[in-house]
Copies of this chain bind each other. A is one copy, B any other.
Amino acid sequence: MSASQTARQRARAELTREIKQEARRQLAHDGPQGLSLRAVARELGMASSAIYRYFPSRDDLLTALIIEAYNSLGERAEQAVAARPRAGVRDRWAACCDAVRGWALQNPHEYALIYGSPVPGYQAPQETVPPASRVAIVIGGLLSESWAARGEDAGDNPGPARSPALPPPLDQQAAVIAAAIAPEVPGPMVARGLIAFVQLFGMISFELFGQFVGGADPADSFFRFTVGEMAEFVGL
């Protein structure tokens, strides 16, 4: 039964994949706004109306691409950290940053889709939230681990101790973030972790969107340097 079901279902799964793949190709040429169901259908050799058997509208296809992009990126970050269980927190932080940047350089248009300008008229549904959180969760885990291991090398890492207590409402926001992804970690360290997080994506956006041209381009060296500086800044 499950095998015979699969005859049709497998064809459906396959075509769904092909549609998304072709859509990703179009993203690269025309951006999210240029994503066209008709063009996808044309490229796949089917009637434009047939796409509607797979995605009820253009926006649903866009949502599927966004979720896939977040998951693909999140998975890369998770694997980069998980692959180095014996490495220190700083090394895993660096590996995570490299993984995120590597993914972005390999998939610049999907990066732009999720971290670039919002698509006019498109509202991301709630289902995108969990995939979108995966990288933050990875980094939160590193913060937690680093905090839990404090004292062992406290001399090297005065880190967050330099920061005064957070002003409201940032203190509350940091507490909420900590509760979600880095329990036990004190507010100032969470806030600095958020700064490092913003720095990571800020750098990648600058690099991909061409703001470094004539300055820190190629950006490899600056990226590596900054990742190290941020590790120290956060107190990892």
Contacts and interface: CB of A to CB of B under 8 A. Distances in A.
B31 A117 contact: yes
Interface stretch (A38-46, A57-65, A75-83, A197-205): A197-205
A71 B215 CA distance: 20
A173 B222 contact: yes
A55 interface: no
B216 A29 contact: no
Taken together, the copies of this chain in the complex come to 2
Interface residues of A, number: 52
A209 interface: yes
A161 interface: no
A202 B192 contact: no
Contact of A168 (B176, B192, B198, B221): B221
A36 to B, nearest CB: 12
A169 interface: yes
Contacts of A173: 215-216, 221-222
Nearest to A132: B211
10 contacts: A31-B117, A31-B120, A117-B209, A170-B225, A177-B215, A194-B215, A195-B226, A195-B229, A202-B203, A202-B205
Nearest to A29: B120
Given A30-B120, A169-B218, A201-B206, 19 more contacts: A29-B120, A30-B121, A116-B209, A117-B117, A117-B209, A118-B209, A118-B210, A167-B225, A173-B216, A176-B215, A177-B215, A177-B216, A194-B216, A194-B222, A198-B202, A199-B202, A201-B202, A201-B205, A205-B205
